C-alpha cells in the first residue's frame, strides 16, 4: 500500500503538469491570435521605411493588391511585371486613386538576363519595402515525369519562383542595410509548408522561399530589416483559377488587408485568419494522414482537368 501512494502522487503531478502545459499553450495561442488578427500592426508599413515600394508580379492578384495597399499608405510604387500594357493600366489606376507617383519596369522573370535592367530602373530610389510576389504554378496537378514540357517548366518555375526572390533581394537589400530599416515580403505558399505531391517542383520552390526568408530574417533583423514569408492557402486569383471569393478563399484585396497587418509581428505567416487555422490543423496531423488527403485532392483535380481537356 505504501508503494502505491508515491506512484499515485507522481501520476497526479504528471497529470496536473500536463493540464497546466496545455492550458498555457492554448492561452498563448489565443493571445497571439488576438494580438495578430484582432489588433494587428497598422503602423508597421509606410513611407517611414522609405519613399518607395517595389512589387514584382504587380498587375494581377496578390501583387496588385499589395501595390494598391502600399500606395494607399502613401508609398510611391515601382511596378514590375511582364506586360507593359498591363503595367500602364495598373499604374494609371494607382495614380488616379491614391495620388502617388509610380514607375514601371517591364521584365519577364522567366528569363535570367533582366536584372541589369531592373537595377538601372531602381537606381537612386529610397526603397523601404520589397514585395517578392511574382510566381508561377503548374497548370494542373501532375506526376513529375508526366508534366507537359517538363524541362522548360522546371527552368521557368525555378527562375520565376526562386531566382527572382534571390536576385531582387540582392538588388534592394544593400540600401535597406545602409539606412538600417526596410521590409521584405516574400510571397510563398502553403504548398511550401509541407510536401505537396503532384505539385512537386512548385512545392519545393515555395519551400525554398520559406527557408530563404527565415534565414534572411535572422541574418538582418539586428540591422533593422524585417523579412516576412507569407504562406497563403487558396486566394481567389487568376493563377489559382478561383473566380469567386469565399470565406476560406478570400479575394486578394481581403487577403492583403489582413496580411499586411502582420508585418512586424510575424516573420512567418499564413496571412489570413482562416488560413492560419488551417495551417495549425495540418501541422498537428500525422504526415501519412496529411499526405493521403493532399494526394487524394490533387488526383481528383488532375482527373477533372484531363477529362475536361479531352472533351475540348
Compute CA distances 204 → 20, 79, 157, 227, 300, whole Å: 38, 27, 10, 20, 21
202 among known catalytic residues: yes
Q: d(Cα 3, Cα 280) in Å, to the nearest integer?
A: 42
Cell of 82: 511582364
End-to-end CA distance of the chain: 79
Q: Going edge to edge, which strands form the sheet with 102-106?
A: 102-106, 76-81, 52-56, 127-132, 182-187, 225-230, 268-269
Q: d(Cα 206, Cα 213) in Å, to the nearest integer?
A: 11
Beta bridge partner(s), residue 55:
79, 131
- Helices and strands counted in the chain (H then E): 10, 7
Q: d(Cα 304, Cα 301) in Å, to the nearest integer?
A: 5
Looking from the CA of 17 toward its CB, the CA atoms found within 13 Å total 6
Residues in the chain: 312
127-132 and 102-106 strand pairing: unpaired
Q: DSSP secondary-structure letter at 74? A: T
Q: d(Cα 165, Cα 189) in Å, to the nearest integer?
A: 14
Contact (Cβ atoms closer than 8 angstroms) between residue 32 and residue 25: no
Looking from the CA of 227 toward its CB, the CA atoms found within 13 Å total 25
Candidate list 202, 220, 233, 258, residue with the active-site label: 202
By annotation, the residues acting in catalysis are 202
Amino acid at each position: 500500500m505504501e508503494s502505491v501512494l508515491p506512484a499515485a502522487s507522481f501520476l497526479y503531478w504528471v497529470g496536473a503538469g500536463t493540464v497546466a502545459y496545455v492550458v498555457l499553450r492554448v492561452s498563448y495561442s489565443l493571445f497571439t491570435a488576438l494580438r495578430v488578427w484582432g489588433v494587428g500592426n497598422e503602423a508597421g508599413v509606410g513611407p517611414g521605411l522609405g519613399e518607395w515600394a517595389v512589387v514584382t508580379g504587380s498587375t494581377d492578384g496578390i501583387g496588385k493588391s499589395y501595390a494598391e495597399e502600399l500606395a494607399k499608405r502613401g508609398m510611391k510604387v515601382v511596378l514590375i511585371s511582364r506586360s507593359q500594357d498591363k503595367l500602364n493600366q495598373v499604374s494609371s489606376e494607382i495614380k488616379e486613386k491614391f495620388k502617388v507617383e509610380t514607375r514601371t519596369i517591364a521584365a519577364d522573370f522567366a528569363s535570367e538576363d533582366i536584372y541589369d535592367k531592373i537595377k538601372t530602373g531602381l537606381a537612386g530610389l529610397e526603397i523601404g519595402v520589397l514585395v517578392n510576389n511574382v510566381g508561377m504554378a503548374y497548370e494542373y496537378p501532375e506526376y513529375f515525369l508526366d508534366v507537359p514540357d517538363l524541362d522548360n517548366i522546371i527552368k521557368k518555375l525555378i527562375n520565376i519562383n526562386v531566382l527572382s526572390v534571390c536576385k531582387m533581394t540582392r538588388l534592394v537589400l544593400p540600401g535597406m542595410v545602409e539606412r538600417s530599416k526596410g521590409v521584405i515580403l516574400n510571397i510563398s505558399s502553403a504548398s511550401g509548408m509541407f510536401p505537396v505531391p503532384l505539385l512537386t517542383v512548385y512545392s519545393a520552390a515555395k519551400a525554398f522561399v520559406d527557408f530563404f526568408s527565415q534565414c534572411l530574417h535572422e541574418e538582418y533583423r539586428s540591422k533593422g530589416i524585417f523579412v516576412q514569408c507569407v504562406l497563403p492557402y487558396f486566394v481567389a486569383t487568376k493563377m489559382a483559377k478561383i473566380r469567386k471569393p469565399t470565406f476560406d478563399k478570400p479575394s486578394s484585396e481581403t487577403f492583403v488587408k489582413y496580411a499586411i497587418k502582420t508585418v512586424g509581428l510575424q516573420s512567418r505567416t499564413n496571412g489570413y485568419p482562416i488560413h492560419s487555422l488551417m495551417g495549425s490543423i495540418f501541422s498537428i496531423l500525422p504526415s501519412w494522414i496529411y499526405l493521403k488527403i493532399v494526394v487524394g485532392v490533387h488526383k481528383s483535380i488532375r482527373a477533372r482537368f484531363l477529362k475536361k481537356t479531352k472533351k475540348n
